[in-house]
Chain A
Amino acid sequence: MNELIKNLDLRNMPPFERHSKIFGIWNSLKEGETLRITNDHDPKPLYYQFEAEHKGQFEWNYEKQGPEDWIFTIKRISDKIDRKQEIKNLIKQLKTEGDVGRLKEKAKAILNNISPTDLGLIEQEIIEEGTTHEEMRKLCDVHLEVMKDNFGKVEMNLKPGHPIDTLMEEHKMILEFIEKLQKTVNKLESAKEFNNVSEELDMLKHIAEHLVEADKHHQREEEVLFPMLEKFGVTEPPEIMREEHEELKPKKKELYKTAKECKEMSYPEFIRKVKELAEYLIKELPDHIYKEDNILYPMAIQVIPKERWNDIKKECDKIGYCCFTPEH
């Protein structure tokens, strides 16, 4: 991405010249470009002026907050108010169209340049204005399709042991289990009876057991991370993730039960059941993980203040980890 940063040092500039200078540069900024300012005090009035006159068009970030110098960036982003209308129209079309694929190109244009945090906030406003949950989940699915096409991966540069890093490492392990599940089911399918597949049966049991074991992972999210996100105003995405957990849980348990009690049914019946459950998990689990890794977690890193993560880590420790969790 071709991002441009313009630097401006206000420290030796007479106060009456400062605002006109800033707004002069701001007006020349193109979408995605940033004005980086060094100042001798925290420019709160300037922030509020931006809030009043350019709401939704800028992102304000502090790099350094005193005690002598303040460094902050004002990035021009495309107008959130317009984006909101576009997204609302998209949701309406999704409702009548039903087919996600056909709207993908259109959705791409709208969703491509929007940051996960902004999208989350817009989604929330739209929900508050009366869009149903079901409609919102459709939007979430399209968003996912678009993101996958771009191979867009968000780099968060987390240290090992950071609660989000641990969750993501666990995701990697879960994805490995999913891969193994696919192979195992293929092998089981090509066999005709329980004889000769005892190795595969053990493998299936092993995988299913570990998928169920991921409950601690969900618990850390639902009891620590999600409430924290909600506290900082992000309510819609955690709600969707919770629902997905609820849908995934019984399938995982069912798979484990089927693997354990396989000998109580006929081989064709067993295969039919395993296939059905595995297909569901092989499709839905990676999607769910992708959403968390690329949307929910980056949002969490953005909205939850740095100093809170120590406490989050402690709460996570209390709940505990999965047997397959790498070092944390």
Chain B
Amino acid sequence: MIYNPYNTKMQEPTKILSEEHQFILKVIGALNRECDAIDNGKILDKNFFEKAIDFIRNYADKFHHAKEEDILFKELCKDDVNMHCNPTEQMLYEHDLGRNFVKGMEQALKENNKKKILENARGYTQLLQDHIYKEDNILYPMADEALNDKTQKSMLEKFKQAESKRFTKGTKEKYLGLANEFEKIK
């Protein structure tokens, strides 16, 4: 039998998560550019990194990763979901690695340690780029195939609840606006 899943259209929940990646990638791009600029003699702009950390902590982690960890990954790890070679463990591990880089970045800012700031920032961007690639291309398509319609619907509902519980009105818009601003910094 040729293995050929014709339904390659993304399901709603993973589509939402994948769209959030796009905003995270905007900030990651800006971080990379900022690191390069510093290497080329630009003076360290603490405010830039503080804003980036704020975005990563609140949007990438609290808003986005939490939806994955509390909702999507939980569904994927349920007994009746026929997932072979479940990649969620690796994804969770990568989320933790990311958190460590952010902590390192924050500490280095306090210490005014330029080298350490760049190390942690670059570590984070590289990790997240790879991580997002894996989720968009491997984990999400697998989830789309493994989870039934009913689960998909209930996940959407849980997404909404999680968002309103964690974010007050306007907060999401604030961070999306921030990501767009970051994108403009060349």
Q: Could you list which residues of chain A lie within 8 angstroms of chain B, going by C-beta atoms?
A: 41-49, 51-53, 59-62, 72, 117, 232-233, 302-303, 305-306
Provide the residues of chain A in CB contact with B93, threshold 8 Å. none
Query: How many B residues touch A, CB cutoff 8 Å?
Result: 16
Q: How far is the CB of A89 from chain B (nearest CB, A)?
A: 26
Say yes or no: A49-B137 contact (C-beta < 8 A), given A41-B84, A42-B84.
Answer: yes
Which residue of chain B lies nearest to A117 when distances are taken between CB atoms in the complex? B2
Q: How far is the CB of B129 from chain A (nearest CB, A)?
A: 14
Say yes or no: A44-B83 contact (C-beta < 8 A), given A49-B137, A51-B137.
Answer: yes
Q: How far is the CB of A268 from chain B (nearest CB, A)?
A: 56
Provide the residues of chain A in CB contact with B139, threshold 8 Å. 45
Residue of B84, B87, B142 with highest tally of chain A CB at under 10 A: B84
17 CB contacts below 8 A, A to B, read A41-B84, A41-B85, A43-B84, A43-B85, A44-B142, A45-B87, A48-B138, A48-B141, A51-B137, A52-B137, A52-B138, A60-B2, A62-B1, A72-B3, A117-B2, A303-B2, A305-B1
Which residue of chain B lies nearest to A232 when distances are taken between CB atoms in the complex? B6
Interface positions of B from 124 to 172, Cβ below 8 Å from A: 133, 137-139, 141-142, 145
Contact between B85 and A45, CB atoms less than 8 A apart: yes
Provide the residues of chain B in CB contact with A303, threshold 8 Å. 2, 4
Please report whether the interface of chain A is mostly helix, strand, loop or mixed according to DSSP: helix
Say yes or no: A45-B138 contact (C-beta < 8 A), given A305-B1, A306-B1.
Answer: yes
Provide the residues of chain A in CB contact with B83, threshold 8 Å. 44
Given A52-B137, A306-B1; 18 other pairs, CB 8 A cutoff? A41-B84, A42-B85, A43-B85, A44-B85, A45-B85, A45-B138, A46-B85, A48-B142, A51-B137, A52-B133, A53-B137, A59-B2, A60-B2, A60-B3, A61-B1, A62-B1, A62-B3, A305-B1
User: In whole angstroms, what is the CA distance A185 to B159 when docked?
Assistant: 75
Q: Could you list which residues of chain B lie within 8 angstroms of chain A, going by C-beta atoms?
A: 1-4, 6, 83-85, 87, 133, 137-139, 141-142, 145
Contact between B84 and A44, CB atoms less than 8 A apart: yes
Q: How far is the CB of A215 from chain B (nearest CB, A)?
A: 32
User: In whole angstroms, what is the CA distance A61 to B1 when docked?
Assistant: 6
Contact between B141 and A51, CB atoms less than 8 A apart: yes
Provide the residues of chain A in CB contact with B137, threshold 8 Å. 48-49, 51-53
Provide the residues of chain B in CB contact with A49, threshold 8 Å. 137-138
Q: How far is the CB of B49 from chain A (nearest CB, A)?
A: 32
User: In whole angstroms, what is the CA distance A51 to B4 when docked?
Assistant: 10
User: In whole angstroms, what is the CA distance A72 to B142 when docked?
Assistant: 18
Which 6 A-B residue pairs are closest in the complex by CB-CB distance? A52-B137, A42-B84, A48-B138, A41-B84, A60-B3, A233-B6
Provide the residues of chain B in CB contact with A61, threshold 8 Å. 1-3
Provide the residues of chain B in CB contact with A59, threshold 8 Å. 2
Q: How far is the CB of A121 from chain B (nearest CB, A)?
A: 9
Residue of B2, B6, B87, B145 with highest tally of chain A CB at under 10 A: B2
Q: How far is the CB of B4 from chain A (nearest CB, A)?
A: 8
User: In whole angstroms, what is the CA distance A49 to B85 when docked?
Assistant: 13
Contact between B142 and A45, CB atoms less than 8 A apart: yes
Provide the residues of chain A in CB contact with B4, threshold 8 Å. 60, 303
User: In whole angstroms, what is the CA distance A52 to B133 when docked?
Assistant: 9
User: In whole angstroms, what is the CA distance A44 to B142 when docked?
Assistant: 7
User: In whole angstroms, what is the CA distance A144 to B134 when docked?
Assistant: 42
Q: How far is the CB of B5 from chain A (nearest CB, A)?
A: 9
Which residue of chain B lies nearest to A306 when distances are taken between CB atoms in the complex? B1
Q: How far is the CB of B117 from chain A (nearest CB, A)?
A: 31
Provide the residues of chain A in CB contact with B85, threshold 8 Å. 41-46
Provide the residues of chain B in CB contact with A305, threshold 8 Å. 1
Provide the residues of chain A in CB contact with B138, threshold 8 Å. 45, 48-49, 52
